[in-house]
Structure 1
Amino acid sequence: ILQIGRQIFGKPTFPNAEVEGLPLPPVQLSLTSWKKQISEIRKLQLRDDDVVLCAYPKAGTHWVWEVISMLLAGQADYEPRAKELLMMDVTRVSKLDKLHSPRVLNTHLPFTMLPAEQMLSRRLKVVHVYRNPRDVMVSMYHHLKQFRLVGTESVHSFVKTFLAGEVIYGHYARYLNQMNRFMNENPELPIYSVSYEDMKSNATDTVRGLAEYLEVPATEVLIADIVAACAFHKLKKVDETKEQVTYLGFQIGQKFYRKGEVGDWENHLTEEEVEMFDREFYKVLDNDRFQFRHKL
């Protein structure tokens, strides 16, 4: 067990698990163990029309998942199920097998823990969402506090925890490194990367680009309808009506929307912390594929 909540900060209510060196959330009561779950995920039978959405936590997965679901359906109607019901990480493979097609599977796991060979052989559509690391850190802090996965530490102390990679799913830069490496090593599988900031600043072009990548017909009217339906405040409200997953006693779909802003880090970090954050984060990041925008 990785004790992310150290004694000096006060321990979290639910300590994290660890598999193959990767910190993971406390195991779902519905799962036997993370080790078994990862083993089954690697053997998950994929389908030719599956779409796989990959992202580090708090990068904007919910938002893009809803957009993709609407594009595949050809209408701006909300998916009645919570995203987590199609999340490989926390859903039993036997349940994923029973879901009707097309499935918009989603995950925070690295490719080493996914059925990557099938993704390659089937040439699946894979979408990657990324977000500037300062906002990811702040959003993750508030997220973990909600789920009691951090103790009494302040956001200022959490900066160091985040930069040490002692958070669920490990270091954000290492996640981006493995994504870049997989893309370089497998050019025959084009992965569509979209940034959270681009979604915020030009949602219309982003939705249009996703439709083109997914090779689904999308009129300008449909694109406009999806953009309107997926406004942050609307998604936050509609999530209250979805079929939810209970996790650690919480209805987790209702816990993921907070502010949805770009640049919220300015409300939390001092100038010295920003300088330290950037310096330490870029020591770990080994590529410049993903261009971050910290403000709009």
Structure 2
Amino acid sequence: MAFTKIPDLGGATMTMIDVDDPTFIHPRFHNDGPATKEIFQKVPDFQFRDDDVMLCTFAKTGTHWMYELISMAQYKSADRIKPSKVQTMLEAQTAEDIDKVPSPRVVNAHYCYRYLPVKGLREKQIKTVLCVRNPKDTAVSYYNHMCGIKFYEYNGKWEDWLPVYLDGKLEYGKYTSWLKEWDVAIRDGIGFPLHVIYYEDLKANCAAEFKKLLKFLDIELSDELQTQIIENCGFDQMAPTKYPPPIKQLFFKDEFNIFRKGETGDWQNWFTVAQNEMFDQKWSSEMKDHNVFDFKYTLPAKM
């Protein structure tokens, strides 16, 4: 197993990791190929603690935001959370390293459902939060993510990247396949406590969605503390503070911030009419028999 170069339609390549699974390309983190493969193979046997919360997201669908909200709720504090989500990320760390993180923990992953430690989730009845985002804004955010992180070694064009993304030839595979696995699991009976939250609903009314989340987590917070947490997890507060300069220099290209815009509807500034038609046709065809998820692609203008 080794690093692999995935070309876009224009010939620019993205560096990722081959984990000897024909349906899955693993993302790059700080580990080499063999270490990543070992992490990947051991994920199904991950051992949860009783007070863990599991956060499941596809890449670029609100993971940082949800991680901060849940963590602050667990600590009952509006202070900035010191651990990064990467420290408890199943595809980025060994189980031994994750075990070093003190409770309460938000274990998180972008893995599709079939690669998750479902046995442990069911045995421990781990409260699990599934955050999803409309696929067009997800695609735009993902493209900028891949252009801005050094490990990918990528500088291709949006129009050359989008078709490759839609075909699922990048890390984590197709977003449609990721959603369909959850759709089937939910309809069949998930077997552990699950709360589904939409990125767009968080953007539209974070206070209301946060109250629903707290009820699911069985956490009581004062209205004042809820407001403070929401404010401190806001995009403008998180973007400049989460990653210190040494981390930025190591992982990110100049001028790149992993918190790019955090908007709903930004896809309209990227998609051409033809790209939008292509996207809609492919998406509706692949999702026609799966209707658990209902996305919003724009939000009403604020008065």
TM-score (norm 1): 0.91
Which residue is equivalent to 2:164? 161
Deviation at 1:213, TM superposition (A): 0.4
Query: Match of 1:178, as an amino acid?
Result: E
2:277 pairs, out of 272, 275, 279, with: 275
When residues 195 and 168 of structure 1 are mapped into structure 2, their CA distance, relative to the original with a 3 A threshold, is same
2:237 paired with 1:234? yes
Conserved 8 A contact 1:53-1:106: yes
Query: Match of 1:90, as an amino acid?
Result: A
2:156 paired with 1:115? no
Query: Match of 2:285, as an amino acid?
Result: K
2:220 pairs, out of 217, 221, 225, with: 217
Which residue is equivalent to 1:57? 59
Query: Match of 2:204, as an amino acid?
Result: S
Which residue is equivalent to 1:143? 145
User: Is the deviation greater in 59-68 or in 183-192?
Assistant: 183-192
1:200 pairs, out of 185, 190, 203, with: 203
2:291 pairs, out of 274, 288, 292, with: 288
Q: How does 1:92-103 map to 2 (within 5 A)?
A: 92-103=94-105
- Cα distance between partner residues in 1 of 2:9 and 2:153: 11
When residues 204 and 150 of structure 1 are mapped into structure 2, their CA distance, relative to the original with a 3 A threshold, is same
Query: Match of 1:180, as an amino acid?
Result: D
Query: Match of 2:92, as an amino acid?
Result: V
Deviation at 1:70, TM superposition (A): 0.6
Conserved 8 A contact 1:180-1:289: yes
Q: How does 1:18-57 map to 2 (within 5 A)?
A: 18-20=19-21, 21-26=23-28, 28-29=30-31, 32-57=34-59
Percent of aligned positions that are identical: 27
User: Is the deviation greater in 286-295 or in 66-75?
Assistant: 286-295
When residues 245 and 53 of structure 1 are mapped into structure 2, their CA distance, relative to the original with a 3 A threshold, is farther
When residues 69 and 237 of structure 1 are mapped into structure 2, their CA distance, relative to the original with a 3 A threshold, is same
When residues 242 and 194 of structure 1 are mapped into structure 2, their CA distance, relative to the original with a 3 A threshold, is farther
What's the CA shift string for 1:123-171, capped at 9, x where partnerless?
Answer: 1100011100000001000000112536443112222111101121000
C-alpha RMSD over aligned residues: 2.3
Deviation at 1:62, TM superposition (A): 0.3
Which residue is equivalent to 2:179? 176
Conserved 8 A contact 1:82-1:245: no
Q: For residue 193 of structure 1, give the secondary structure of its aligned residue in structure 2.
A: strand
Deviation at 1:16, TM superposition (A): 4.0
2:251 paired with 1:250? yes
Which residue is equivalent to 1:128? 130
- Cα distance between partner residues in 1 of 2:179 and 2:206: 23
Q: For residue 128 of structure 1, give the secondary structure of its aligned residue in structure 2.
A: strand
When residues 71 and 197 of structure 1 are mapped into structure 2, their CA distance, relative to the original with a 3 A threshold, is same
User: Is the deviation greater in 283-292 or in 170-179?
Assistant: 283-292
Conserved 8 A contact 1:23-1:170: yes
Structure 1 stretches of 4+ with a deviation exceeding 6 A read none
Conserved 8 A contact 1:85-1:245: no
Aligned length: 292
Query: Match of 2:189, as an amino acid?
Result: N
2:11 pairs, out of 9, 12, 15, with: 9
User: Is the deviation greater in 123-132 or in 42-51?
Assistant: 42-51
- Cα distance between partner residues in 2 of 1:109 and 1:73: 26
TM-score (norm 2): 0.89
- Cα distance between partner residues in 1 of 2:39 and 2:275: 37
Deviation at 1:59, TM superposition (A): 0.3
When residues 245 and 93 of structure 1 are mapped into structure 2, their CA distance, relative to the original with a 3 A threshold, is farther
